[in-house]
Chains A and B, each alone.
Chain A
């Protein structure tokens, strides 16, 4: 097998897996910090139990995010050494700054928070969870700055293009890359959405069983409001990102919309409601399209023209020389739709829950027993979103500058990569089983188990 394909599969597998845990960390940490603050202010035990309950689930998830994150930092060098050499002068900086400014903050203060209950001054204990929240979210900013360079390289010295190694010339341009400042709020809000629907589903599970109602009704209400607001804002920023992608990565936009050839004689561009791809993932078997709708969505103008894949391909062939510049469209198209439709569902669910809250009918909701399934929605959306971002950029690893096929470590054989790919998948699968097992047990056991910190222990004395 082609080592580049294997390396890409490994990167995709380890990164998608890592990002199962990251958004929940990013979002839930704020929720836990908020709950802890409520407890600090009111002294009400209810808030403490909520802090501990959601905090426990947060920590189980956090551990997985941390350990899978180490792989992320290593694998640029391990599998993509030529990429690392080519962009190291630029790409290494945000990664190092992430470690210096964010990882230390997050891990150190989370350690204090975990072990600090009843041992350290209460204000310091509260401050530690806020600092951990700032740390984890700051790390998202730096890694998105790094990723945005791959999507839209800025801040490099044009003279270094010839030397075969990019050199940073303007740090401000690098960190104020417009892509990053759209991707950052999008990601943070997606994290809050993930946390909200995680809480939403688990709270609904308990409410449907009429247990621990005081704690979970409150959690459910917080989750519904936070979820609806966050998912709507994520979408709004997503729209801005779409407009930006049309300018800087027209091929990605064309692939998202499965738009092959935009007929320039007809005004406006059609929106694909459903496209069925052929086996190559780059050709169409059948599609249903609404004329001009894409123009309306993209630029609020029925007549604006969005370029099709073949038109961008022709442009790129002229610009970069002959070659295939079309990404695997089926993944990009469906990745986007999974994200988009999941978001619509979340908006609907959040709206329903808020309506029930306003009518004071939360406990009577018949749908409650189905709501736990909503937990899957943000995960689908998060994964779909990254598939669009990363696969939509192909064949480039750095848009317009370096192709993925030229970025791999030349010393690796297919056998070596296959070995590690299988190794990662096996370990990750086993850990996923353990992680979900623990999360489910703690989530179902409710606040009593998290008060003790353990599940399955025979209760001898209840304090």
Chain B
């Protein structure tokens, strides 16, 4: 049975997947910034690798939020009010990060630049961690009462499985970002990015394995997904292994595709586990929100489907185009770094 509710669940999943794929590497780049760029020009080069893109990437998050509000108001209301403090911290991270990209090079003072580089690091780390924690908790289930109200607090989210989810997203984004930089940078920076990527591959792999195993204990994955419960995580692991293989063979474009695919498959697993529920209640499964009791009216869903059918292809086309326009490596030479 395929209805508009299902379509919107898939569309929101696609928006999140797009967001994690794209912002995944620029969170990774942000976290790597202080370690990879030793000199000021190098740090500028690292930032310029994502410079034209990060803001557009972040819009995927805004769109996921907006689409959730429009298609599943109860999901939006329960999730955003429930994860209140976590989202506050996420917002603070995104705020200082976005401002830091714009502000850091505008003043010559080394102290000023160090400060904003630190802000880029924190502002990339915090959202990466918190989003991982949030998604793991959604998979695990959170306390929700019969009125669709979240009854936990911030500490409810900071359970071992949630934290494992957070660490995994941090590790995978770091790897994804390092490989992206290897693709985009030139000279010594590129070699450094390569060395980082090879090291970062190890914790990413370990954490993805751990998360996959833990999911069998902390979520209902085995009973809900049956065979897929093994196929999907296994596929995510295989592509991550392939990423490592391509890294050693210096097929960097392929390696980047593979870490991207790891992110995609992990999230596909997550959304498959969730479906057709959108928020699982750990208080009583009957209190869970699903794509029907959380959704908008058929009229609004139909309307939004038309809107999405018009705009999503357009967005994909012109956003893809920006990556093509700025496909050249960032040289790291000073004359190219001024903007």
Contacts and interface: CB of A to CB of B under 8 A. Distances in A.
Interface of A: 59-60, 62-64, 66-68, 70-71, 73-74, 76-79, 81-82, 84-85, 87-93, 95-101, 103-105, 107-112, 114-117, 119-120, 124, 167-169, 171, 409-412, 416, 419-420, 423, 427, 431, 434-435, 438, 441-442, 452-458
A109 to B, nearest CB: 8
Going nearest first, the 8 A-B pairs with the smallest beta carbon separation are A88-B73, A77-B80, A92-B70, A63-B102, A92-B69, A409-B81, A81-B81, A96-B66
A411 B303 contact: no
Contacts of A100: 63, 66, 307-308, 311-312, 315
B91 A411 contact: no
Looking at chain A's contact residues, is the secondary structure mostly helix, strand, loop, or mixed?
helix
Interface string B296-310: 110110011001100
A411 B149 contact: yes
B88 A453 contact: no
Looking at chain B's contact residues, is the secondary structure mostly helix, strand, loop, or mixed?
helix
A18 to B, nearest CB: 11
Interface in B104-122: 105-109
A124 B92 CA distance: 35
Interface string B86-107: 0110011011111101110111
Contacts of A442: 106
A434 B99 contact: yes
Given A63-B101, A114-B339, A70 B94 contact: yes
B85 A416 contact: yes
B59 interface: yes
Given A78-B84, A117-B339, A454 B106 contact: yes
B69 A112 contact: no
B70 A88 contact: yes
Contacts of A81: 77-78, 80-81, 149
A132 B53 CA distance: 14
Nearest to A426: B92
Contact of A93 (B103, B105, B304): B304
Interface in B49-81: 51-53, 55-56, 58-59, 61-63, 65-71, 73-74, 76-81
Interface stretch (B132-140, B208-216, B258-266, B318-326): B318-326
Nearest to B302: A171
A438 B107 contact: yes
A303 to B, nearest CB: 46
Contacts of B94: 67, 70
Contact of A104 (B56, B74, B148): B56
A380 B332 CA distance: 44
Given A93-B307, A457-B108, 14 more contacts: A63-B99, A63-B102, A63-B103, A77-B79, A84-B80, A85-B73, A93-B300, A99-B63, A111-B55, A112-B52, A409-B77, A427-B96, A452-B338, A454-B107
Contact of A84 (B62, B76, B109): B76
B151 interface: yes
B51 A99 contact: no
B150 interface: yes
Contacts of B307: 93, 96-97, 100-101
Interface of B: 48, 51-53, 55-56, 58-59, 61-63, 65-71, 73-74, 76-82, 84-85, 87-88, 91-92, 94-99, 101-103, 105-109, 147-151, 296-297, 299-300, 303-304, 307-308, 311-312, 315, 318-319, 322, 325-326, 338-339
Contacts of A171: 299, 303
B252 to A, nearest CB: 22
A117 B71 CA distance: 40
Given A63-B98, A103-B62, A442-B106, A108 B318 contact: yes
Q: Which of B58, B77, B92, B319 has the most C-beta atoms of chain A within 10 angstroms of its own C-beta? A: B77
Given A68-B95, A70-B95, A77-B69, A453 B106 contact: yes
A427 B92 contact: yes
Given A88-B76, A411-B149, A71 B95 contact: yes
A108 B84 contact: no
A412 B81 contact: yes
B306 to A, nearest CB: 10
Nearest to B84: A78
